[in-house]
Structure 1
Amino acid sequence: MKLYKLFSFQAKNALKTLALVLILLDVLVANAQQNEDTSVIWKKMEAVLKSMKTPVFPNKTYSIINYGAKSSSTFDNTLSIKKAIQDCSKNGGGTVLIPKGTYFTRPIHLESNVNLHLEDGAELLFSANPKDFPLVHTTFEGTECMNYSPLIYANNKTNVAVTGKGTINGQASNDNWWSWCGKDTYGWKEGMPKQQKDIEILMSMAEKGIEVKNRIFGDNHYLRPNFVEFFECTNVLIKDINVINAPFWVLHPMKSTNVIVDGVNINSHGPNNDGCDPEYSKNVNIKNCTFNTGDDCIAIKAGRDADGRRVGIKSENIIVQNCKMFDGHGGVTIGSEMSAGVSNVYVENCVMNSPNLDVAIRLKTNSKRGGLIENFYVRNIEIGEVNEAVLKVDMFYNVHGNQEGSFIPRIENISLENVKVKYGGKFSILALGRKDSKIKNITLNNVLIEKVNTPFSIENVENLKFINTYINGALANTTGM
């Protein structure tokens, strides 16, 4: 009997040991799979980067001074800059030089193989008079139209750049463009014009399928122009410039491929002053930039509602590296204009920190937008302070009235890895999915979030995972969610 009890005791211990070993193996396998999966993900990003080439320009320089330009805040240098650009492009390309000084100008239209280069100490001072802005094929909040030209504009060009340590100044303020948003904080007063009526007209035109060439706005309308827009361009470089006082969205690659935004410093706090909005664009690398904005720092777009579905070009392979985000509604966001879909977004080695930064990572859509957001990967991020949430995913984003429709959005595959947050705001994760379209596959791996009011507010999320993630000092898990 004693031998039986001894054997029974040893057998039980052996079974317990085996069970522990199996559990440990499961954990090791799961961790190995997780590491393998993320390794594959980031190798895909590296492959995209290797496929991208920085535009190169012939060693020819065309100084605008040689075309009659004068350093002045009132002298109109538009024709001098235009002639320099045309000669540069006609002769095979090169650099159009803006020397040290201040140069007033109306909108600038770039040509292929031209690098518009601003010397350190150079400033382009743009007109704020709407009558100086010709109509061009452009877009407003994800809907194409004929509207005021962007301040710097390139349409269907190849190998084109804006570079240098100088400054582009849109001169927007409460006294001109900004008041059109219709908010008193930006100078609007009762009886002054505002954009809302024109937005509604444009939305209606898009829903009715009216051709873009017949969606005419501009003079006597109040849709503000984008600052720098590359429309249907290939091989684009925006490097080192300082940007201030934008009328509307700041940098807007639209239907463009192979776009590099490097070392740009944006400081513009007007309404809808998104820092960089890649839209319908592919292979975009935003790196080494600083964002201090009146709206989202980086907002990835893909068209709005019927117009987004008409164009049908998704934004994909958007890579954000080594950037600093301060004031703004969101650090890196997708939407809400994303009806054509967004795939493969990579964010790494960034710093976000401001009491005026609402959300670090934000994905927003609704059932009028529809569309698919998939494969949003974040790693190695330091967040000092956010106001509302570290991660916010919202399928009920509401703006411009009723946003309910029959185009059910999908959101899936979101990963945050190696993220540290000192002040997490109201929520670590705020995720609002739909019963008929749940948010799928959110993973937090090696994430540390401190000083957050409420760890989670989650509805209709499928497959939420925490791996070595601590919130307010406690190991996070999905128990009770």
Structure 2
Amino acid sequence: MNPSPTSAFESNRLIALASLACLALLQGCAPSQEGADDSEKAFIGWDDLPQILEQIQAPTFPDRDFEITEYGAVADNATDIKPAIDQAIAAANEAGGGRVLIPAGDWFIAGPIHLKSNVNLHAAEGATINFSTEPKDYEPLVYTRFEGTEVMNYSPLIYAYEQENIAITGKGTFHGRASRDNWWSWSKDAREHINKARQMAEDGIPTTERVFGNNTGLRPVFVQPYKCKNILIEGVTFRDSPMWFVNPVLCENITVREMTVIGLGPNNDGCNPESSKNVLIEGCYFDTGDDCIAIKAGRDADGRNIGVPTENIIIRNCKMLEGHGGVVVGSEMSGGVRNVFAEDCVMDSPHLERALRIKSNTFRGGFVENIHFRNVTVSEVADAAFRINLYYWGQNGDHYPTVRNVSMENVVVEKAPRAFYFHGREELPIQDVLVKNCQFNNISQPSVITGIENLKFENVRINGQPKNQ
């Protein structure tokens, strides 16, 4: 006999509660009980920001330069400078640290840059480093992630594995040269191989046996420190990445300051801290083909099995133009995300789709808590200004996501189809969302609000009218 809708709902609710209990055990605490005091929920808010900031310190480097011209590099945009950069990085590392200097000029590099501990890769003002678009130049394959799934794949254009005290600085430009004629064209035909990688993760196949590359369509990201500590990215410009731009994975203590990211290709996310801790992103400029900043924590089985959340992310004084979202959590966030603070930002493009967005589903699962967004001006978005969707892509499974303690304060949106789109799970609703001192102007459609508990509006106006509970 098929279950009635009511019994099916109750079954899903029990699954959701069991999922929450397991998640709580993984976090080392018991799930909060109905009617429990708020202090037991370990909510983190703006008052906790100074303490988190104290944990983020940019690395420093010895005052020694290793100029790549001393190792044979020629600025003719034709001669491969990879051998010279590799030698300069090795020399700086062996000397105990220093700055690998790329002077002004147009440079060509046929392959990736692999950073080593205590090395600051510095592109001087007027320097443009043009990367090869030939996939074989990014072999041998390295241990990496593709959209939250661990694989052996082409090397990121700038990569570091298990290094400490590394930096990419200067006023120069790193140009990935991706276009519809090379890397970006792969997005249309890669689905079979992407699904294969995800199924390998579900089946528990070791990462070293998940071998891709070989034109399978899994594009490399631009910058990926992997299992690294003490990272600085400052001042530089990145253009036209094959995939995501800056994607620290399993890293700690990261400062990204005054970086410019420009690329309107498929999946051209700007900055994606993933399964990483203590990250400051400030004074940056994003004009992207996907999310400007997307907080991630691994996908599906890999995200749950590795079980490392992303936490303590501070975003401030950034400018976002084109993109799917300004500040986004998900959707690859199966390991969980907590303590994200975004403030004093400007979002200024009719082609930006959302200002604040949280996305997951019952296949990806994960937890999201303590997400705070304030003092942001938004000229226009093409979708809802504030969106939480726990039915993302319509995928379903037994891993119920939890979302709680989310706030938006002092935000002005000049134009949007909707102010809010909250689509939570009735079995395990979104909890504790506060919208305070916000104005939403030129709103053309009503908000969608389902599957949410303890939603509060304080001094919120939509088209000049007070928003009631």
Q: Fold conserved (TM > 0.5)?
A: yes
Residues 128-169 of structure 1: CA deviation (Å, up to 9, x unaligned): 000101200001000010000000001110000000000000
Once residues 58 and 302 of structure 2 are traced to their aligned partners in structure 1, the CA distance between those partners, rounded to angstroms, is 31
Look up the match of 1:411.
403
CA contact (8 A) 2:257 2:283 kept: yes
Look up the match of 1:448.
439
Look up the match of 1:104.
108
Structure 1 gap segments, 5+ residues each = 1-38, 183-193
Once residues 455 and 54 of structure 1 are traced to their aligned partners in structure 2, the CA distance between those partners, rounded to angstroms, is 45
Once residues 41 and 60 of structure 1 are traced to their aligned partners in structure 2, the CA distance between those partners, rounded to angstroms, is 42
Residues 336-361 of structure 1: CA deviation (Å, up to 9, x unaligned): 10001000000000001211100100
SS in 2 for 1:275: coil
CA contact (8 A) 2:237 2:259 kept: yes
Deviation at residue 306 of structure 1 after TM alignment: 0.5
How do residues 57-76 of structure 1 correspond to structure 2 at under 5 angstroms?
57-76=61-80
Once residues 176 and 234 of structure 1 are traced to their aligned partners in structure 2, the CA distance between those partners, rounded to angstroms, is 33
Deviation at residue 454 of structure 1 after TM alignment: 2.2
SS in 2 for 1:80: helix
Amino acid aligned to 1:296: D
How do residues 12-411 of structure 1 correspond to structure 2 at under 5 angstroms?
41-105=45-109, 106-134=111-139, 135-182=141-188, 194-398=189-393, 403-411=395-403
Deviation at residue 53 of structure 1 after TM alignment: 1.1
Amino acid aligned to 2:295: I
CA contact (8 A) 1:455 1:471 kept: no
SS in 2 for 1:302: coil
Once residues 385 and 221 of structure 1 are traced to their aligned partners in structure 2, the CA distance between those partners, rounded to angstroms, is 38
Once residues 160 and 244 of structure 1 are traced to their aligned partners in structure 2, the CA distance between those partners, rounded to angstroms, is 21
Deviation at residue 41 of structure 1 after TM alignment: 2.0
CA RMSD of aligned residues (A): 1.4
SS in 1 for 2:386: strand
Amino acid aligned to 1:109: H
Residues 351-376 of structure 1: CA deviation (Å, up to 9, x unaligned): 01211100100000001001100110
Deviation at residue 213 of structure 1 after TM alignment: 0.4
Once residues 224 and 328 of structure 2 are traced to their aligned partners in structure 1, the CA distance between those partners, rounded to angstroms, is 19
Once residues 220 and 378 of structure 1 are traced to their aligned partners in structure 2, the CA distance between those partners, rounded to angstroms, is 40
SS in 2 for 1:330: coil
Look up the match of 2:449.
458
Once residues 41 and 355 of structure 1 are traced to their aligned partners in structure 2, the CA distance between those partners, rounded to angstroms, is 31
Residue number among 439, 456, 477 corresponding to 2:468 in the alignment: 477
Once residues 56 and 299 of structure 2 are traced to their aligned partners in structure 1, the CA distance between those partners, rounded to angstroms, is 28
SS in 2 for 1:200: helix
Look up the match of 1:15.
none
SS in 2 for 1:59: coil
Amino acid aligned to 2:45: I
Once residues 134 and 227 of structure 2 are traced to their aligned partners in structure 1, the CA distance between those partners, rounded to angstroms, is 27
Rg larger for: 1
Once residues 409 and 89 of structure 1 are traced to their aligned partners in structure 2, the CA distance between those partners, rounded to angstroms, is 43
SS in 1 for 2:202: helix
Once residues 470 and 403 of structure 1 are traced to their aligned partners in structure 2, the CA distance between those partners, rounded to angstroms, is 34
Amino acid aligned to 1:130: P
SS in 2 for 1:468: strand
SS in 2 for 1:378: strand
Look up the match of 2:32.
none
Look up the match of 1:438.
429
Amino acid aligned to 2:404: E
Deviation at residue 98 of structure 1 after TM alignment: 0.3
CA contact (8 A) 2:368 2:403 kept: yes
Residues 268-299 of structure 1: CA deviation (Å, up to 9, x unaligned): 00100000000000000000000000000000
Residues 13-36 of structure 1: CA deviation (Å, up to 9, x unaligned): xxxxxxxxxxxxxxxxxxxxxxxx
CA contact (8 A) 2:71 2:87 kept: yes
Taking only the aligned residue pairs, the percentage that are identical comes to: 47
Once residues 343 and 76 of structure 2 are traced to their aligned partners in structure 1, the CA distance between those partners, rounded to angstroms, is 42
SS in 2 for 1:43: helix
Structure with more contact order per residue of length (Cα contacts < 8 Å, sep ≥ 6): 2
Once residues 69 and 475 of structure 1 are traced to their aligned partners in structure 2, the CA distance between those partners, rounded to angstroms, is 64
Deviation at residue 43 of structure 1 after TM alignment: 2.7
Once residues 220 and 326 of structure 1 are traced to their aligned partners in structure 2, the CA distance between those partners, rounded to angstroms, is 32
CA contact (8 A) 2:426 2:452 kept: no
Once residues 281 and 455 of structure 1 are traced to their aligned partners in structure 2, the CA distance between those partners, rounded to angstroms, is 37
Amino acid aligned to 2:173: T
Deviation at residue 40 of structure 1 after TM alignment: 7.5
Deviation at residue 220 of structure 1 after TM alignment: 3.3
Amino acid aligned to 1:57: F
SS in 2 for 1:81: helix
Once residues 201 and 299 of structure 1 are traced to their aligned partners in structure 2, the CA distance between those partners, rounded to angstroms, is 24
Amino acid aligned to 1:159: N
Deviation at residue 265 of structure 1 after TM alignment: 0.6
Deviation at residue 219 of structure 1 after TM alignment: 1.3
Amino acid aligned to 1:50: E
Once residues 276 and 364 of structure 1 are traced to their aligned partners in structure 2, the CA distance between those partners, rounded to angstroms, is 17
CA contact (8 A) 2:45 2:370 kept: no
CA contact (8 A) 1:335 1:363 kept: yes
CA contact (8 A) 2:44 2:339 kept: no
Amino acid aligned to 1:415: S
Once residues 386 and 306 of structure 2 are traced to their aligned partners in structure 1, the CA distance between those partners, rounded to angstroms, is 29
CA contact (8 A) 1:240 1:264 kept: yes
Please report the TM-score for the alignment, with normalisation by the length of structure 1.
0.87
Once residues 338 and 51 of structure 1 are traced to their aligned partners in structure 2, the CA distance between those partners, rounded to angstroms, is 23
Please report the TM-score for the alignment, with normalisation by the length of structure 2.
0.90
Once residues 202 and 116 of structure 1 are traced to their aligned partners in structure 2, the CA distance between those partners, rounded to angstroms, is 32
Aligned length: 427
SS in 2 for 1:249: coil
